[in-house]
Chain A
Amino acid sequence: MTDSKTTNSNTLTESKNMKPTQLTTRQKVELSLSRRRAAETRFRMYGMASVFFGMLCLVVLFTDIASKGTAAFKQTSLKTEIFLDSSYLGLTKDSKVDEVRFANFEGLIKRQFAKNFKPSGRKETRELFKLISPGASWQIQEALLANPEVLDTTISIELLMDDDVDQWFKHDRDLSTDETNDRLSTKQLSWLNNWVEEGRLDTHFNTLFFTNGDSREPELAGIHGAIKGTLLTLMVTLLLSFPIGVAAAIYLEEFAPRNRMTEIVEININNLAAVPSIIFGLLGMAIFINVFGVSRSTPLLGGLVLTLMTLPTIIISARAAIKSVPPSIREAAYGLGASKNQVVFHHVLPLAMPGMLTGTILGMAQALGETAPLLMIGMVAFVVDVPGFINDPSTVLPVQIFLWSDSPERAFMERTSGAILVLLSFLVLMNTTAVILRRRLERRW
Chain B
Amino acid sequence: MSTSMQHIENHITTGIPLSQNPKLAARNVDVFYGDKQAIFDVSLDIGANEVIALIGPSGCGKSTFLRTLNRMNDTIDICKIKGEILLDDENIYGADVDTVPLRARVGMVFQKPNPFPKSIYDNVAYGPRIHGLAQSRVELDETVEKSLQRAGLWNEVKDRLHAPGTGLSGGQQQRLCIARTIAVDPEVILMDEPCSALDPIATAKIEELIDELREKYTIAIVTHSMQQAARVSQRTAYFHLGQLIEVNPTKQVFTTPQHELTEAYITGRFG
Interfacial residues, chain A to chain B (CB-CB below 8 A): 258, 326, 328-339, 342, 346-347, 351, 444-445
Contact = CB atoms under 8 A, between A and B. Distances in A.
Interface string B86-108: 00000000000001111110011
B130 A336 contact: yes
Given A337-B102, A347-B116, A445-B164, A331 B110 contact: yes
Given A258-B77, A445-B164, A333 B116 contact: yes
B72 A336 contact: no
A11 B131 CA distance: 74
A346 B118 CA distance: 11
B110 A337 contact: no
Contacts of A339: 100, 130
B166 interface: yes
A335 B117 contact: no
A334 B102 contact: no
Contact of A335 (B77, B101, B108, B118): B108
A337 B127 CA distance: 8
B148 interface: no
B126 interface: yes
Contacts of A330: 75
Nearest to A257: B77
Nearest to A338: B130
Contacts of B109: 335
Contacts of A346: 126, 130
Contacts of A334: 72, 75, 103
A335 B112 contact: no
17 contacts: A328-B110, A328-B112, A330-B75, A331-B72, A331-B108, A332-B177, A333-B116, A334-B103, A335-B72, A335-B103, A335-B107, A336-B126, A336-B127, A337-B99, A337-B184, A339-B130, A444-B117
Given A337-B131, A337-B184, A342-B130, A332 B114 contact: yes
Given A334-B103, A346-B130, 5 more contacts: A328-B112, A331-B110, A337-B104, A338-B126, A445-B118
Interface in B150-197: 164, 166, 177, 180-181, 184
Contacts of B118: 445
A342 B100 CA distance: 11
B248 interface: no
B201 to A, nearest CB: 23
Nearest to A351: B117
B164 A329 contact: no
B70 interface: yes
Most buried by A among B108, B116, B131, B180: B116
A351 B115 CA distance: 13
A332 B72 contact: no
Nearest to B128: A336
Contacts of B110: 328, 331-332, 335
A342 B127 CA distance: 11
A328 B114 contact: yes
Contacts of B181: 335-336
Contacts of B166: 445
Contacts of A342: 130
